[in-house]
Amino acid sequence: MLDKAKQSLAFFFEGTNPMPPVHLDTRYDRAGNFLVEPGNTVVSHLVQGSPSAAAIIEVRERIRAMPDADRLAFTP
């Protein structure tokens, strides 16, 4: 793990930036809980062949089988 953050990222750290995060009270509340917002997207890498990847693929296939699923966009 890195001991220090890159200088170019310092603006994003609470200790070096006195301003509140841009999406505070729109995407998440002050406790860090996500708020309902149309179009929220979660993007995350999965380890191929892992249990978590299998679970996500299963859920994706179940959602694709639902009515109106053609209105949704899925990543490979």
The model's pLDDT over 55-71, given as tens digits with 9 standing for 90+, comes to 989 999 999 999 988 88
Query: What is the domain extent for residue 27?
Result: 7-71
In a domain, 1, yes or no: no
- The total of structural domains in the chain comes to 1
In a domain, 16, yes or no: yes
pLDDT in the model for residue 62: 94
Contacts of 51-54 spanning 24+ positions with Cβ under 8 A: none
pLDDT in the model for residue 54: 93
Alpha-carbon distance 74 to 64, whole Å? 9
pLDDT tens digits for range 15-58: 777 777 777 888 788 888 888 777 667 777 889 999 999 998 99
In a domain, 2, yes or no: no
The reply to whether the predicted model has a pTM over 0.85 is no
pLDDT in the model for residue 1: 44
Alpha-carbon distance 34 to 32, whole Å? 6
C-alpha dihedral sign at 13, 15, 16, 21? positive
